[in-house]
Structure 1
């Protein structure tokens, strides 16, 4: 009887944990959809999207791609700088960090350039450094 009660309790905990995971997934998917809409429809919205992404605690790959595309279309060095920092801390993001770094080096302000030099390893910026 005790064994059966423990088994049921474990199953209930597993079911509750799975339900919590599914709820979080659904919330992230909804937030991602909202952020993608902002990125696709509002010029210079990259910083707003990155902030929303941080508040949500993550997002889908498509969200990161939409933000990167917004940055490239707008040629937004501030957005590029912040997304490049995210990419450094999360190496499996589906974005081209080199492209973002190039944008910061070519169009960003000196503060952003120096911060990237301090943040990234020398060899990661070796190609960009010549333009700096």
Structure 2
């Protein structure tokens, strides 16, 4: 690695295929986020027509918690990309990728459990346990 922090090209440098894969994954992630926002807009519109104000408020609390936890997931993803980009040898990149995938899965499971727990708690507190 040079002093500027940019990896030098050489036989251990990432190949063009890896760079394209990383770029296409970033584009796919952006497309997934846009489609997720469109789906969320559709779901909230449908729910607003069917739920009471208190029920829609409870849904809004749980949905906002999911948004905050998305920041945690994105920080894990950006740290993983940074670590993989800084790895010079192929073996090191493989190790970093494995660790990042494990951490990413762990954060996903923990986030899901936290959201489910919060939903049950909010349901019990605001909706007298109707949805719990």
TM-score of Structure 1 vs Structure 2, range by shorter chain: 0.3 to 0.5
When the two structures are superposed, what TM-score results if normalisation uses the length of structure 2?
A: 0.34
Q: TM-score, normalised by structure 1?
A: 0.34
With a CA cutoff of 8 Å and minimum separation of 6, indicate the structure with the bigger relative contact order. Answer: 2
